[in-house]
Chains A and B, each alone.
Chain A
Amino acid sequence: MEFIQDLLTYGFLQKALITSIMVGIICGIIGSFIVLRGMALMGDAISHAVLPGVAISYMLGISYFYGAVFTGVLTAFSIGAISQNSRIKNDSSIGIVFSAFFALGIILITQAKSATDLTQILFGNVLSVRSSDMWLTLIVGAIVILVVVLFFKELLVSSFDETMAAAYGLKTRLIHYAIMFLLTLVTVASLQTVGVILVVSLLITPASTAYLLTNRLSVMVVLAAFFGALSSITGLYFSFLYNMPSGPVIALTATAIFMLAFLFSPKQGIVVGMFRKKFKRKSITGATN
Chain B
Amino acid sequence: MIHPITVNNISVSYDGHEVVKDVSFSFGSGSLIGVLGPNGAGKSTLMKAMLGLIHKDHGEVKIGSETVDSMRKKIAYVPQRSNIDWNFPIVVKDTVLLGTYPKIGLLRRPRKADKEWAMECLRQVGMESFANRQIGELSGGQQQRVFLARALAQKADYFFLDEPFVGIDVSSEEIIIGILREMQANGKVIFVVHHDLSKVKKYFDGLILINKELIDAGPTNKVFQSSNMAKAYNREFMIDGLEVSM
Task: Show the binding face of A for B, using Cβ within 8 Å.
Answer: 36, 87, 150-151, 153-154, 156-157, 159-161, 163-164, 166-169, 211, 214-217, 219-220
Contact = CB atoms under 8 A, between A and B. Distances in A.
Main secondary structure of the interface of A (DSSP, over half): helix
Given A161-B79, A215-B90, A217-B89, A167 B53 contact: yes
Given A163-B77, A164-B77, A211 B154 contact: no
Contact of B91 (A87, A159, A163, A215): A215
Interface string B34-69: 000000000000001001010000000000000001
Contacts, number: 72
B102 A169 contact: yes
B207 interface: no
Contacts of A214: 89
B98 interface: yes
B160 A167 contact: yes
A161 B89 contact: no
Nearest to B110: A153
A158 to B, nearest CB: 10
Contacts of B154: 168
Interface string B83-97: 111001111001100
18 contacts: A153-B104, A153-B109, A160-B85, A161-B79, A163-B53, A163-B79, A164-B79, A167-B77, A168-B72, A168-B75, A168-B102, A168-B154, A211-B89, A215-B89, A216-B90, A216-B94, A217-B88, A219-B89
Given A164-B98, A215-B90, 14 more contacts: A36-B88, A87-B15, A153-B104, A156-B90, A160-B85, A163-B83, A164-B77, A166-B53, A168-B72, A168-B76, A169-B73, A217-B88, A219-B89, A220-B89
A161 B53 CA distance: 13
Contacts of A163: 48, 53, 77, 79, 83
A97 B31 CA distance: 49
Contacts of A156: 90, 98
B101 interface: yes
A150 B98 CA distance: 16
Top-9 shortest CB links A-B? A169-B72, A167-B77, A215-B134, A168-B102, A220-B89, A163-B79, A217-B89, A160-B88, A157-B98
Nearest to B162: A163
Nearest to B74: A168
A161 B84 contact: yes
Contacts of B15: 87
A215 B92 CA distance: 10
